[in-house]
Structure 1
Amino acid sequence: MTKEIRKVAVIGAGTMGAGIAGQVANAGVNVLLLDLPSEGASVNALAERGMDRLRDPASPGLMSDEAGNRIEIGNTRDDFHKLADCDWVAEAIVERLDIKQDLYRRLNETCRDDVIVTSNTSTIPIRLLTEGLPKSFAERFAITHFFNPVRFMRLLELVRGEHTRDDIIKMFDTFCEQRLGKGVVICADTPGFLGNRVGVFAIQCALHTAFDMGLSPTEADALFSRPMGIPKTGVFGLYDLIGIDLMADVAQSLVNILPAHDAFHKYGNPLPLMTKMIADGQKGNKSGQGFYREKEGERQVLDLESGEYVDFERLDLPLAARAERDGVVELFNDNSRYGDYTWRVLSQTLCYAASLIPEIGEDPVPIDDAMKLGYNWIHGPFELIDQIGVDRFIDRLELEGSEIPPFLQKARGSSFYAVENNILKNRWDHGSLRPLLRADGVLRFSEVRQTLKAQNENSSASWFEYEGAAVVEFHSKANALDGDSMRILNDAVTQAPNKNLNGVIVHNDAQHFSCGVNLGGVRSFFENEDYAGLDQFLDRDFQQIVLAMRECALPVVVAPSGLSIGGGFEVVLHADHVICHSNSVMGLVESLVGVVPGGGGCKENLYRWYEKTGDMEKAAWNAFMNIGMGRTATSPVLAKQQAMLRQNDEFLMNRDRLLSSALTVLPNIKKAPARAPIPLAGKPSFDKMQDWLNTAKDKGMIMAHDVTVGTEIGRIVSGGDCEPGTLASEQDLFNAERKAFLILAKTPETQARIVSMLDTGKSLRN
């Protein structure tokens, strides 16, 4: 049996290799990162460049400085002998078979005979990679295909070869799922595996169809995005993000490896306009211009007919809005030009996915998982067919004379997923339904909830009884919180003690736990000049409900992933215990839209800094800076350093284990104690804060309205003009938050910031 993985080597410090090294280090494992030796000042320049990528604050591959310290860098000339101490060697070098095989021969001569070797390739079959190498090497060789960026993309395609040992696959499945936090999909050694096979087809189909139908990039991206349950980047925006030249290479690589009969070839050829764009340096975001560009602060979009840039206009497409709200069936039912576009893209993509069974496996679940985990689709292809209705989908295909894939035909009169006897089942190639199985401890609430009946629900949230707990799920757009969301939370914490449950868990499977309070609701209050209603919302529908979480007789565990910011983070702050995902981003960002945290965020931040430092003056200053600057922590490790999480709060590498872990710990969680009054720092600290704000404005660091907002934040956390040592209760701080929020909400500057964020998605500085 293979030994435990205690040290890993990654060869190749490019984007993928550095990313793999970073995630292994995040998991607490020591890493040796090697690349070719360089001429010049540093022989390890390429590996050093990889470390710089990991530390990029725009997309940090490392959770903390401590993780970075676990990575040792070197080069393949001077440090190759160090591989003898490693348990796993991950190759992430150039996609050339001859160079890879040369490396494998060196590894075979250098490494122990129990060392596992994997490649990150997505284009070269294992049978070619291991050709001519000893069988003993091939038995411990596999492909571990990570997706970029490695830290944040959940999918890992684990590909076995003809000779790969079962124990190697089993061990790697466990290690990558539990330690690295990946959703592991075990794939056969077929071209493109699963994620790229379907994902790139969908992208190419959407691209070519837009050109064929004369849709602009703006129109296509408004449809091939959230209305289909796909990230908002869209197809042209995605090309710009990845790089038009790189995406062209990806498409060409699939053209080269897929059989001649594969439907991908219909959309694999490069388009003349894009070939010219690449030649002219219009390669996307990395070159400053692609299908979109910024010119003099204004966004422009490429006219696909003339090849010239025109002013970008935000489109208001009722079809897109309906589909985003009510699901993909809205696209199916629409007979407009836009409905025709979405049908052509959807129908061909979904049929392509169905046509791959049984070639790539007998089960639709891995394909659905690959698209959800590797491409951030909300629903996989077979889940989308179920939403439309299998029979309706097939009937329309037949009406158009389209070929029906055999696996799709087998589902006629039924579905690909169904609940039978409170068990979620999925269809497989033999035609019947069988239970959908996950690894022990992996529990996705999006699947569990299909077997449950809500105890109470509305359009913004629901709560369910499950395994002895009241589970609260937010499910509004971006999980923005409103009165309906909070009332469901309040109902759960109120009713749970009466139902003899173990406690309350607040959790969801969405991309983000909650992006804060619904700004549209705040806008409605100030546009109607209903400030009494706004005050009531902050008090009754927010502050008193998060307080009820603490006062509930049962423990409340919050298990967030993705963004927990603004009001969403205020819910997290009032939990008795937090179990979050390792990629959770947390923070109080209200100052960026001209208000203060109004649901206990200022209060909790101040209390926690006081508990952390024991010095109220330091606590007030730290709270002032954190809240005023809208700081966020990009990992739980950093959140603890910023007093956003307690030291005993937990984090897990795999978000699919949050719910099962919360259920396990819930009976043993002790209630958080009631907050005792605290001595405020008073006028000296408040004066210091005002001086800092005015100086920062004079230096051009902040804007005029930032001074106004910062003054109100300083007044809350210091006590304003009160004497140092004046005691403030939890309710006193709640009241101060509401007062400041209302003062700011009445200002034209704050209202302009909120309107800008809602209407343009941009943060206004004024």
Structure 2
Amino acid sequence: MNKIKKVGVIGAGTMGAGIAGQVANAGIEVWLLDLPSDSDNVNSLAERGLQRLKDPDMPGIMSKEAEQLINLGNTRDHFDELKNCDWIAEAVVERLDIKQALYRQLNESCKDSTIITSNTSTIPISLLTEGMPKSFCERFAITHFFNPVRFMRLLELVRGEQTRQDVMDTLDVFCETMLGKGVVPCLDTPGFLANRVGVFAIQCALHKAFKYNLSPIEADAFFGRPLGLPKTGVFGLYDLIGIDLMADVAKSLENILPENDAFHKFASPIEFVSNMIANGQTGNKNEQGFYKQAGDEKKVIDFLSGDYVDHERLKTPLLEKAEKVGVTAIISDESKYGLFIWEVLSETLCYAASLVPEVTEDLAQIDDAMKLGYNWVKGPFELIDEIGIDYLVNRLKKSGKDVPDFLLSSLNNKFYNTTNSVLSVLSPSGKLSPIVRPKGVLRFSEARQTLVPINVNESASWFEYEGAAIVEFHSKANALDSQSLDMISEAVTYSEKKGLRGVIVHNDFQHFSCGVSLWSVRECFEKNDFDGLDAFLTYFQNTMLQMRDSKLPVIAAPVGMSIGGGFEVVLHADHVVSHANSVMGLVESFVGVVPAGGGCKEMLYRWTEKLNDTQKGAWKSFMNIGLGRKANSPQEADALAMRRADDVFQMNRDRILNIALSKLDDTKKASQRSPLALSGAEHFKEMLEWLEVNNKKGMLTPHDVTVGTEIGRIMSGGDCPAGTVFSEQEILDAERSSFITLAQTQETQARIVSMLDNGVTLRN
């Protein structure tokens, strides 16, 4: 198996630049080439690709160090740089003649061992390599990445008839371990797996929404989180991808799929959508699509008038029931919402089942493709198991619908089964085969199916696994409440009593935790129960100290967002094993409160240690917490004092739990915090002056000043003399006091209500 030390990427568009960026993130030198420009800057196309990677809203590169590994050039002046590349990824325009001409040039100039791949999803390998010598075909494959490359986990790996096994093995291992991808082998069939099912589901949902006269808000409320799909739903996803681009994708699939494929039922354009494209209403890139952001207000298009109207979240008991019961609550409902979801879901699940065994004999590959490529919590066959194969088939028969043979042959069974603590999947022949992952890969979503929780409530669970306690959050957005804390506290206490190896806080969902439940906070201020709120915050702080002061090691293994209270859990762990794309930060100021689970305290200590100066540490903490700064990579987290020197990260999120387990026996306990001599009244005054100056400049709102004042008070000690010594507990008390003070203001309450009801950050 070859080792990849140098990579070339040809084509600096969205996908090519993204591939180059992720290669650089892995610490590998890469050349990014595009056509020479007629402008003064001959490499302008490649440079534009690099600038796209530096977009602060969706950064494709993790650090300055990674950026320095990207060499820019053009295919006229720098083609020779590809000679010594171990892998060259082609991501040029989807035209067969252009690709074939490029392959001929690469075949003549590159070393014989160079692996060459295409990012195409529409052109078969047989056509791509037509007329090429056998030696070229043997080292050629398709590596189909998903956009944005850094953040989307799926890589569809497709071999040709002549591709050597060692080439496939090299790509598989490199992309899985170095680039952090979940590699799904695919046959060279139209659309492969993820887009074949994913675009079908999106198009079906679009057509059915218009059939039932649903607004974007209504459709997205149900075709989203209640099904375990991204919250964008269908219309929000169209906006995110680009309405015009989605239309092109649908047209492309329509052209390459067989005439009898069920996709053709939903491929035709919808007149209203076509008119939107003609009007330039193509989604987020043009700041208007099905949704439109107007200042602090979010608008949504009215299908009757074509105008944008106020956006209000859909409130219906069915959504609340679905959160507790699951998808079965929706599809059994006879309202238009229930019928909409039943039709979309049954069509999509049948379509996925129809691909077995012709497109793949491993249905777990289809589930993986949808989970990794489209961020579904459960794949199609996992959803069928949740609904019940018998229920699905019988209801389809009653309505006169065709049922795929694979579903009929699977009646009275389940697709996924656990026997002898092994998770197995059903094959088309009716046999159960264990799911085998690469060495070092451990998905807790799969491991937990072989376990019985020691305890569970609505917000969290904990399990005993390989001699450790695993705590998993599973509330909405994994928001923390008293029940989440109960599970942490109980797991720590039990582990100490039973002599377990330690505790790991981890989950396999999209996000680790998006903070303390604002619903709980809202309930307290609407009931005027600030004593209850203070009691919850005290419990939160004490649980964090219990984690840190436990005799056993506690490791946090976060993926996705660890923000607000979720990040305070991470801050109090003895060791952190994070995913490379974990987003960390204390963002409470945006909803008008301060971190009060030990976040202010911990950042003050960390910045003081980093700078060896309490006053400088107080200022840094004041600024970063006040502005709600987040780290989008481990390197950014290091610069913001959010990680300890021995904390580690992993490119592949499926590997972090296994690493955390391996580190339990060597993890050292974090020490208790010594008292700090705070900077005092004069420094607090400087902070207040800074707030007033930036308020006058229009950079801060009046309530930003109020919140910032409380953050400054915590960090400096407020009106006390400089050098006044504060214990750790006194700083925690100050956090809690400021939180309660702010929660009683009308402005903070308005911010929280705005976030919960409309998903909008209110600037008041």
TM over 0.5: yes
Distance 1:321 1:526 in 2: 22
Task: Name 1:117's counterpart in structure 2.
Answer: 116
Offset at residue 648 of structure 1 (A): 1.0
Offset at residue 595 of structure 1 (A): 1.0
Task: Name 2:591's counterpart in structure 1.
Answer: 593
Q: Does 1:375 align with 2:388?
A: no
Question: In structure 2, what residue type is equivalent to 1:474?
Answer: F
- Post-superposition Cα deviations, 1:178-200, rounded to whole Å, max 9, x if no partner, equal 10001110101010000000000
The question of whether the paired residues in 2 share the 8 Å contact of 1:228 and 1:324 is answered with no
The question of whether the paired residues in 1 share the 8 Å contact of 2:298 and 2:760 is answered with no
Corresponding residue SS for 2:259? coil
Corresponding residue SS for 1:49? helix
Structure 1: which 5+ residue stretches go unaligned? none
Task: Name 1:339's counterpart in structure 2.
Answer: 338
Q: Does 1:728 align with 2:726?
A: yes
Offset at residue 8 of structure 1 (A): 0.6
Corresponding residue SS for 2:510? coil
Distance 2:748 2:575 in 1: 34
Distance 1:583 1:94 in 2: 29
The question of whether the paired residues in 2 share the 8 Å contact of 1:332 and 1:388 is answered with no
Offset at residue 124 of structure 1 (A): 0.3
Cα RMSD (Å): 1.3
Distance 2:305 2:710 in 1: 52
Question: In structure 2, what residue type is equivalent to 1:588?
Answer: L
Offset at residue 214 of structure 1 (A): 2.6
Mapping for residues 255-334 of structure 1, pairs under 5 Å = 255-294=254-293, 298-334=297-333
Task: Name 2:551's counterpart in structure 1.
Answer: 553
Distance 2:55 2:299 in 1: 27
The question of whether the paired residues in 2 share the 8 Å contact of 1:390 and 1:415 is answered with yes
Corresponding residue SS for 1:346? helix
Question: In structure 1, what residue type is equivalent to 2:91?
Answer: A
Distance 1:584 1:124 in 2: 34
Mapping for residues 743-754 of structure 1, pairs under 5 Å = 743-754=741-752
Deviates more, 1:674-683 or 1:440-449: 674-683
Task: Name 1:50's counterpart in structure 2.
Answer: 49
Mapping for residues 669-684 of structure 1, pairs under 5 Å = 669-684=667-682
The 1:288–1:740 alpha-carbon spacing in structure 2 relative to 1, beyond 3 Å, is closer
Q: Does 1:5 align with 2:7?
A: no
Task: Name 2:623's counterpart in structure 1.
Answer: 625
The question of whether the paired residues in 2 share the 8 Å contact of 1:143 and 1:159 is answered with yes
- Post-superposition Cα deviations, 1:622-641, rounded to whole Å, max 9, x if no partner, equal 01101111111111111011
The question of whether the paired residues in 2 share the 8 Å contact of 1:201 and 1:264 is answered with yes
Distance 1:500 1:51 in 2: 51
The question of whether the paired residues in 1 share the 8 Å contact of 2:296 and 2:761 is answered with no
Mapping for residues 512-551 of structure 1, pairs under 5 Å = 512-539=511-538, 541-551=539-549
Distance 2:427 2:697 in 1: 65
Task: Name 2:393's counterpart in structure 1.
Answer: 394
Q: Does 1:106 align with 2:100?
A: no
Task: Name 2:358's counterpart in structure 1.
Answer: 359
Runs of 4+ residues deviating >6 angstroms: none
Offset at residue 450 of structure 1 (A): 1.0
The question of whether the paired residues in 1 share the 8 Å contact of 2:312 and 2:757 is answered with no
Mapping for residues 346-495 of structure 1, pairs under 5 Å = 346-495=345-494
Offset at residue 218 of structure 1 (A): 2.6
The question of whether the paired residues in 1 share the 8 Å contact of 2:592 and 2:707 is answered with yes
Deviates more, 1:747-756 or 1:384-393: 747-756
Corresponding residue SS for 2:594? coil
The 1:301–1:591 alpha-carbon spacing in structure 2 relative to 1, beyond 3 Å, is closer
Distance 2:301 2:89 in 1: 40
Offset at residue 308 of structure 1 (A): 4.6
Question: In structure 2, what residue type is equivalent to 1:692?
Answer: W
The question of whether the paired residues in 2 share the 8 Å contact of 1:198 and 1:353 is answered with yes
Offset at residue 324 of structure 1 (A): 3.3
Task: Name 2:193's counterpart in structure 1.
Answer: 194
Mapping for residues 156-305 of structure 1, pairs under 5 Å = 156-294=155-293, 298-305=297-304
Deviates more, 1:293-302 or 1:224-233: 293-302
Aligned pairs, number: 764
- 1:652 corresponds to which of 639, 650, 653: 650
Corresponding residue SS for 1:277? helix
The question of whether the paired residues in 2 share the 8 Å contact of 1:227 and 1:321 is answered with no
Corresponding residue SS for 1:143? strand
Distance 1:742 1:290 in 2: 40
Offset at residue 278 of structure 1 (A): 2.1
Question: In structure 1, what residue type is equivalent to 2:339?
Answer: D
Task: Name 1:69's counterpart in structure 2.
Answer: 68
Distance 2:17 2:582 in 1: 21
- Post-superposition Cα deviations, 1:542-583, rounded to whole Å, max 9, x if no partner, equal 000000011111000000011101111000000000000000
Offset at residue 307 of structure 1 (A): 4.2
Mapping for residues 676-715 of structure 1, pairs under 5 Å = 676-715=674-713
The 1:722–1:309 alpha-carbon spacing in structure 2 relative to 1, beyond 3 Å, is closer
Offset at residue 26 of structure 1 (A): 0.5
Corresponding residue SS for 2:4? coil
Offset at residue 240 of structure 1 (A): 1.8
The 1:58–1:136 alpha-carbon spacing in structure 2 relative to 1, beyond 3 Å, is same
Deviates more, 1:324-333 or 1:455-464: 324-333
The 1:642–1:298 alpha-carbon spacing in structure 2 relative to 1, beyond 3 Å, is closer
Question: In structure 1, what residue type is equivalent to 2:395?
Answer: R
Task: Name 2:30's counterpart in structure 1.
Answer: 31
Question: In structure 2, what residue type is equivalent to 1:98?
Answer: D
Question: In structure 2, what residue type is equivalent to 1:53?
Answer: R
Question: In structure 1, what residue type is equivalent to 2:16?
Answer: G
Offset at residue 139 of structure 1 (A): 0.6
Offset at residue 296 of structure 1 (A): 7.0
Offset at residue 592 of structure 1 (A): 1.1
Distance 1:531 1:298 in 2: 30
Distance 1:289 1:693 in 2: 34
Corresponding residue SS for 1:31? strand
- Post-superposition Cα deviations, 1:190-223, rounded to whole Å, max 9, x if no partner, equal 1000000000000111111222233233322222
Offset at residue 316 of structure 1 (A): 1.6
Task: Name 1:143's counterpart in structure 2.
Answer: 142
The question of whether the paired residues in 1 share the 8 Å contact of 2:311 and 2:758 is answered with no
The 1:307–1:635 alpha-carbon spacing in structure 2 relative to 1, beyond 3 Å, is same
The question of whether the paired residues in 1 share the 8 Å contact of 2:683 and 2:716 is answered with yes
Distance 2:162 2:589 in 1: 58
Offset at residue 284 of structure 1 (A): 2.1
- Post-superposition Cα deviations, 1:724-758, rounded to whole Å, max 9, x if no partner, equal 22222111111111111111111111111111111
TM-score in terms of structure 2 length:
0.98
Structure 2: which 5+ residue stretches go unaligned? none
The 1:649–1:364 alpha-carbon spacing in structure 2 relative to 1, beyond 3 Å, is same
Distance 2:289 2:537 in 1: 44
Question: In structure 1, what residue type is equivalent to 2:509?
Answer: A
Deviates more, 1:541-550 or 1:528-537: 528-537
The question of whether the paired residues in 1 share the 8 Å contact of 2:479 and 2:513 is answered with yes
- Post-superposition Cα deviations, 1:679-727, rounded to whole Å, max 9, x if no partner, equal 2122222121111111111111101111111111111111112222222
TM-score in terms of structure 1 length:
0.98
- Post-superposition Cα deviations, 1:52-105, rounded to whole Å, max 9, x if no partner, equal 100010110011111111100000000000101211000000000000000000
Task: Report sequence identity in percent.
Answer: 64
Corresponding residue SS for 2:191? coil
Corresponding residue SS for 2:183? strand
Q: Does 1:611 align with 2:609?
A: yes
Corresponding residue SS for 2:121? coil
Corresponding residue SS for 1:497? helix
Distance 1:253 1:551 in 2: 58
Deviates more, 1:355-364 or 1:322-331: 322-331
The 1:309–1:515 alpha-carbon spacing in structure 2 relative to 1, beyond 3 Å, is closer
Distance 1:591 1:298 in 2: 19
The 1:511–1:673 alpha-carbon spacing in structure 2 relative to 1, beyond 3 Å, is same
Corresponding residue SS for 2:584? strand
- Post-superposition Cα deviations, 1:515-535, rounded to whole Å, max 9, x if no partner, equal 000011111111212111111
